[in-house]
């Protein structure tokens, strides 16, 4: 045990001498999470929309008020159609809505009247929600107008089936609330990167031979190098949870202590893999790049964070099940968004522990081979 703490203390001293690297592992991780959360969120609001009202009637103002009540649109007014279309072409507006001059009259006569909407399709992820919002809004207004006309004629509106959806766990359907738990796992990959770079650094500095010639056992040598990065990862876990809850309004419906404990299993799995990777490369940078690709880039596509895994081919689903970030995402979402406990999360935790034990054992055996 004394040997283990001696190696861990030595590694902490190395980190303390390289303050920029320690800054990257702590503050850099927090900054990365905040930037990724803001830039990768698919929630769209305040789309620049120009309104050309050629009618100026009570009915047209009612239509405009409905648009202003929808936070998706940031409404501005233009006097002429040509100028509005020019803004659409130049990219200073994404949607142009033109209300015809006879809108109110035709509506009161019970005739069909069309409101023209010009949508910039050069950015489909904005154009499609804009079209969906406008379609839903016009259907709702058409139903209200029909009910009012029937009421004025002394007739009752026909009953229609009611649909009352109730969204649980993320009532506002905010993408940022859904992806923050998974992005924690991506940013925590810096712990694996640090663990992998620790041994690579010894090789680059020419001190690896001195290290393996010491009378210390193999487990103290390996675990002592990994321990500081696991502790830094645990600190990051707490900081990331605070960022998600207080900055991005991510709910915490479960047990925070349970989340921290299960995060240890995730850190164990990725740092063990990082140490194993370091056995096969000769430089610190190579170990860092491979580890980051494995735990920082691949999970963005295969860990159910941004893209649903069940829509992928079967072989990709199997690959996703082998990735620690997939299980961490399930754990984080379950605790933060759904408030589930150990009884629902033990399979994911078991998968992480098995991964950590297999990878650490392989790293131990590989390190033994090098000693031989």
pLDDT confidence of residue 56: 87
| Residue 40 main-chain phi, psi, to 5 deg | -95, 0
Tens of pLDDT along 142-199? 777 666 666 666 665 554 555 566 778 887 778 888 889 989 999 888 888 887 877 7
Structure tokens at 125: 């992820």
Cβ atoms of 261 and 331 closer than 8 Å: no
Residue 212 confidence (pLDDT): 60
Rounded to an integer, the average pLDDT of 57-73 is 85
Residue ranges in the chain assigned as alpha helix (H): 2-17, 19-25, 27-40, 58-68, 81-90, 103-108, 124-152, 175-187, 189-205, 208-212, 218-246, 256-278, 284-292, 298-302, 314-321, 324-333, 342-371
Regarding predicted confidence, which is higher, 304 or 143? 304
**Residue 78, CA atoms < 13 Å, CB-side half-sphere:** 20
Residue 275 — pLDDT band, cuts 50, 70, 90? confident
**pLDDT above 60 (res 4):** no
Angle of helix 124-152 relative to helix 58-68, nearest 10 degrees, comes to: 140
Beta carbons within 10 angstroms of residue 163's beta carbon: 5
Evaluate if residue 350 carries a pLDDT over 90. Answer: yes
The number of residues in the chain equals: 372
Q: Which of 101, 107, 98 is nearest to 52 (CA)?
A: 98
- Report the DSSP pairing between strands 116-119 and 95-99: antiparallel
pLDDT score for 15: 61
pLDDT of residue 283: 77
> Which of 94-98, 131-135, 345-349 is the most confident on average?
345-349
Residue 268 has pLDDT above 80, yes or no: yes
- Confidence tier at 19 by pLDDT (50, 70, 90): low
Is 21 a residue whose pLDDT tops 50?
A: yes
* pTM for the whole structure: 0.75
CA distance 318 to 133: 37
Strands 47-53 and 95-99: parallel
What pLDDT, on the 0 to 100 scale, is given for residue 50?
93
Would residue 249 be called left, alpha or beta, if left means φ above 0 and alpha means ψ between -120 and 50 degrees?
A: left
Task: Please give the pLDDT value at position 372.
Answer: 46
| CA separation for the pair 357, 334 (Å, rounded) | 24
- Nearest to 137, CA basis, from 57, 41, 68, 204: 68
194-240: pLDDT as tens digits: 878 777 666 666 655 556 666 666 667 677 777 788 888 898 899 99
Angle between helix axes 189-205 and 284-292 (nearest 10 degrees) is 160
- Look up residue 324 and give its DSSP letter: H
């Amino acid at each position: 045990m004394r040997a283990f703490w001696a190696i861990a203390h030595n590694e902490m001293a190395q980190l303390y001498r390289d303050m920029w690297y320690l800054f990257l592992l702590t503050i850099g991780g927090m900054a990365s999470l905040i930037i990724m959360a803001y830039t990768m969120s698919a929630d769209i609001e305040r789309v620049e929309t120009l309104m050309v009202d050629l009618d100026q009637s009570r009915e047209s103002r009612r239509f405009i008020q409905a648009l202003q009540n929808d936070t998706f649109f940031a409404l501005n007014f233009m006097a002429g159609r040509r100028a509005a279309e020019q803004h659409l072409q130049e990219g200073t507006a994404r949607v142009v809505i033109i209300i015809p001059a006879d809108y109110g009259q035709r509506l009161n006569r019970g005739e069909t009247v069309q409101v023209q909407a010009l949508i910039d399709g050069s950015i489909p992820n904005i154009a499609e929600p804009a079209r969906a919002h406008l379609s839903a809004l016009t259907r709702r207004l058409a139903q209200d107008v029909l009910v009012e006309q029937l009421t004025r004629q002394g007739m009752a509106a026909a009953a229609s089936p009611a649909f009352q959806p109730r969204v649980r766990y993320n009532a506002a359907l905010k993408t940022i609330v859904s992806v923050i738990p998974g992005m924690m796992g991506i940013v925590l990959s810096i712990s694996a990167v640090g663990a992998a770079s620790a041994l690579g650094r010894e090789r680059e500095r020419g001190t690896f031979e001195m290290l393996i010639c010491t009378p210390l056992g193999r487990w103290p040598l390996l675990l002592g190098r990994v321990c500081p990065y696991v502790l830094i990862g645990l600190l990051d876990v707490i900081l990331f949870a605070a960022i998600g809850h207080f900055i991005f309004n991510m709910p915490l419906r479960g047990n925070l202590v349970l989340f921290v404990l299960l995060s240890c299993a995730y850190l164990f799995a990725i740092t063990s893999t990082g140490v194993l990777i370091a056995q096969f490369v000769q430089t610190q940078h190579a170990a860092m790049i491979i580890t980051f690709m494995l735990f920082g880039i691949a999970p963005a596509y295969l860990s159910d964070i941004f893209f649903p895994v069940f829509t992928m081919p079967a072989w990709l689903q199997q690959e996703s099940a082998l990735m620690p970030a997939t299980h961490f995402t399930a754990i984080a979402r379950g605790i933060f968004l759904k408030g589930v406990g150990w009884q629902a999360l033990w399979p994911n935790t078991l998968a992480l522990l098995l991964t950590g034990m297999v990878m650490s054992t392989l790293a131990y055996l590989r390190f033994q081979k090098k000693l031989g």
